Structure 1
Amino acid sequence: MSDELPVVLCPDSFKGSLDAAAVANAMARGVHAACPKAQVRALPMADGGEGTADLITHTLGWEWHLSSVHGPSGDHVTAGWGFDARNRRAVIDVASACGLDLLPADRRDPWQLDSRGVGELMGIAIEAGAEQLLIGLGGSGTVDGGAGMLAALGARFLDADGRDLPPTPAGLTSLARVDASGLDPRLENIEIVVLSDVDNPLTGPHGASAVFGPQKGLAETDIAAMDAHLGRLAEAIDSAGGLHCPAHTPGAGAAGGLGFALGCVLGGKARMGAAYLADLIELDAAIASSQLVITGEGQIDGQTSRGKVVAEVVGRARRLDVPVVAVAGNIACSEAELTDFGLADARALCDGSITLEQALAEPARWITARTQALVEDHLAQHD
């Protein structure tokens, strides 16, 4: 095999540790340690979660903007978003405006939080000239059904006396009707692409409240009440002028119901985040010109095959007959399962040689080491 091994690096982030770009940088050091003349191309990936906007912006050379918007509790936060002025496209992470990480643990009460900052970011991007909005749904801290976002875009939520209500779930307990006539008319000409990796409906046992509510601070005893609230909200919006699709549409429950507001109310088109991003960065072409693909994520397990970055990368590389290896923080699969999945090899940071604490203290060091070992073994097998 040539010393100038062409390698593509396309990892996801290691959540709570390193973003995807930092993971790719650590992998690149490992590749060059094993093969100094390797031709390395880094194309870090995401699935629509936190960091998607930053990743798309910097991978494709878009402009990066910072805007002040309302955070989930009403305080102002500075949110970043990307803009492709040439093609009039913008990319937004909902987490930047209503993310769980914006809230200290003692303020994570979904009844008191809303997503208005997301709507404000959308308006700012539209004002800048965007005609297409890419919106990553991961990492939200709200369960408001997108009411805050819709309010920021001009919808009104009214009680029986016609008085405006705050768009938090607690504020909408006396909701009587929704007035959607004031929605920003520019939305009619905006293409909204919703990037996600979940297919949950808005309500029910697999809905936003039951599945994601507890992660965001919703008490187990409040799940049924929040679920009922989201159902009433959907009915009120439907009565105000109809929905593009019903609330049980797969993906409507994403991001605490922002999937419902963006898709069912505003007509956005849902896309699996990893697949959409792979197309956007032309991953297939990069893989086709490589001899080895290296991917990775925090944990490879039974959920990896369900729309995650590693599964997307493996599927594309298999079609192009290029071997794929992976580095993960932890691997909860057998070697046989990894082979069936399509990985030629995989290494975990926590493989028994170091502790979890050591891996978390120096993740880049261990990603580099595991990548070096993978590449050395790959070269040995193909000499």
Structure 2
Amino acid sequence: MKAQAVAQAMVRGLQEVVSPTDFVIYPLASGGSGTTDLAVRLAGGRLYHEVIAVGNRRAREVKWGWLNDRTAIFDAQDALGSPDGPSQLPGTYTDSRPVGEMIRRLLARRPDRIAVGLGDVLAADAGMGLLQLFGVTLMDGTGTPLASGSRPLLALDRIDFSDLTPPPIPIVGLTDHWHSWNERVQQRDFRLDLIHGGLMPASCRLAELLSEYIRIPVGDVAASGSGGGLGMALAFLGAQFRLGAEFLAHLGRLEEKAWQVDWAVTGSSQLTADSAHQAVGQVAQVAQRAGIPAVALTLQLGPGHLGLYDAGIVGQYSVLDRPRNERDVHRALASLIEKAAYRVGYWMQALSDP
């Protein structure tokens, strides 16, 4: 479900128990799917579509937004299209060139900056395709330039930077975590070996060569693990990183709205330690500064979720009323959120009554 639909389901549930009042609906994303739509909605601007065709891929339309402050924004997931990695690694893409091509297209529009939503994707080529579009020539041991994609990366031996042309304006990577590339490759879900044997060391070799050129350990840059290799490639090109939820909260002045309400309800499909850097954490921080309680709804409590209490969340509640399979949850999700919000509203109302 999109953030707006989730928020509306919450309101329907709350309206059944909370005294007639005004609800402030503020949908948030964490840098993944839907970030561009929300940015345009919150900040003002217009949505456009750019047709891109990279390599042998079919031409496709990519949605992008032009904000009133002359920021151009797009979601990496939208540029990459359908995942082509193994089923064990959902959201995995073997070629990051479409993201690089989209950045180049937007540069021609002469914005003041470009924001790229890096959530919900894992670029398994360590950002090689993106870098190639900005003049980085990766070569094998014979000096032959590599084709794009994760498999050719296995033959990487050296890099020619003589044609490097970095973007002339600021690039902002919108992320949902601060993990560096070197931290990310050590996490259990980052299984590049499921795509090609030897892909992990080849990716780390690319990180070493990039670091040698700019004399900065690019693999240690905070958030360089965002989007798989996209974060590392963008870090090499000089991009800055910002939490996607924080970016959207600033655009729509969430801080001001928090002072107009008595309590806040937010949610995520899973609550983990990383949720503190995502939409749930952003709502919690803003609510805490405004002196109001914030409650989070979820499908699953994951590792580190107890840390959210320190971040400002006062309650974490499952939307599930009984054990359900994934298909059943998907079909009934709106209703489950609505009913969970009703239960939370009943509890919050009881606490609020003198």
- State the TM bucket, normalised to the shorter chain: 0.7 to 0.9
Q: Give distance in 2, aligned partners of 1:219 and 1:24.
A: 37
What is the CA distance between 1:269 and its match in structure 2? 0.9
Indicate conservation of the 8 Å contact 1:153/1:184, yes or no.
Answer: yes
From 204, 226, 244, the counterpart of 1:231:
204
What is the CA distance between 1:176 and its match in structure 2? 4.5
Per-residue CA deviations over 1:174-198 (Å, capped at 9, x if unaligned) read: 444434443446x12x111112123
The aligned runs of 1:109-258 (5 Å cut-off) are 113-159=94-140, 163-184=144-165, 187-188=167-168, 190-203=169-182, 206-208=183-185, 211-214=188-191, 218-219=193-194, 222=197, 225-238=198-211, 241-242=213-214, 245-258=217-230
Pairing 1:281–2:252 present: yes
Q: Give distance in 1, aligned partners of 2:149 and 2:351.
A: 58
Per-residue CA deviations over 1:41-92 (Å, capped at 9, x if unaligned) read: 21111221222222212333321122233479844433212112x3210112
Indicate conservation of the 8 Å contact 1:327/1:347, yes or no.
Answer: yes
Q: Percent identity?
A: 26
**SS at structure 2 position matched to 1:298:** strand
From 23, 32, 46, the counterpart of 2:15:
32
Pairing 1:324–2:294 present: yes
What is the CA distance between 1:151 and its match in structure 2? 1.7
Q: Give distance in 1, aligned partners of 2:303 and 2:318.
A: 11
- Which consecutive unaligned segments of at least 5 residues does structure 2 have? none
- Which consecutive unaligned segments of at least 5 residues does structure 1 have? 1-17
Using structure 2 for the length normalisation, give the TM-score. Answer: 0.85
Per-residue CA deviations over 1:297-316 (Å, capped at 9, x if unaligned) read: 112345433x1321221122
From 64, 80, 96, the counterpart of 2:63:
80
Using structure 1 for the length normalisation, give the TM-score. Answer: 0.79
AA aligned opposite 1:289: Q
Pairing 1:363–2:340 present: no
* C-alpha RMSD of matched pairs (Å): 3.4
Q: Give distance in 1, aligned partners of 2:294 and 2:12.
A: 18
Alignment correspondent of 1:9: none
Per-residue CA deviations over 1:123-156 (Å, capped at 9, x if unaligned) read: 1211122221111211224221211112223433
**SS at structure 2 position matched to 1:150:** helix
AA aligned opposite 2:71: R
Pairing 1:103–2:84 present: yes
**SS at structure 2 position matched to 1:39:** coil
Indicate conservation of the 8 Å contact 1:72/1:117, yes or no.
Answer: no
Per-residue CA deviations over 1:12-44 (Å, capped at 9, x if unaligned) read: xxxxxx121110121122233334732122111
Aligned pair count reads: 353
Q: Give distance in 1, aligned partners of 2:154 and 2:306.
A: 52
The aligned runs of 1:337-352 (5 Å cut-off) are 342-352=312-322
Q: Give distance in 2, aligned partners of 1:70 and 1:174.
A: 25
Alignment correspondent of 1:49: 32
